[in-house]
Homo-oligomer: A and B are copies of this chain.
Amino acid sequence: MIAPEAIDHVGIAVADLDGAIARYTRWLGVAPFAREEVAADGIEAVLFQVGPNRVELLGSRRADSVVDRFLQRRGEGLHHLAYLVPDVAAALAAYRAEGATLIDEVPRRGAAGRLVAFVHPRSTGGVLVELCQSTAVGP
């Protein structure tokens, strides 16, 4: 049982990050509150607050990044669904107990220093699932 507290955010892959930021700023009526390059992954993430939730735009910064490969294969669109959970390690353990394929075997630091982990879509009915920990962790 993952028992999420909310949808944390929805990740959306975009081909032209700056163009998408302009459109989403217009649609959502707010400017993004964070823009972060994840150099190791070759991607850039931009976050908008939407009430209790967030929308995350994902752009590729290099050929063959995960976002680049997604865009090549499927085009722009919904990329992943992130749930807010009290304990990412416990949620991972629940997926592991049912034989799920985990992308992250242990929680890692994601955007804004939060603990996160991804579960492979082959174990979740085609949905790339991210688990985001709601409680703060030490520095």
Contacts and interface: CB of A to CB of B under 8 A. Distances in A.
Interface of A: 1-7, 10, 12-14, 20, 23, 26-29, 50-53, 55, 74-81, 83-84, 94, 98, 121, 125-127
| Copies of this chain | 2
B126 A4 contact: no
B1 A26 contact: yes
A29 B6 CA distance: 12
B4 A50 contact: yes
Contacts of A7: 7, 10, 50-51, 53, 55
The 7 closest A-B pairs by CB, nearest first: A77-B126, A6-B51, A76-B126, A3-B29, A78-B78, A7-B53, A1-B29
A125 B29 contact: no
A10 B125 contact: no
A78 B29 contact: no
A63 B55 CA distance: 33
Contacts of A80: 78
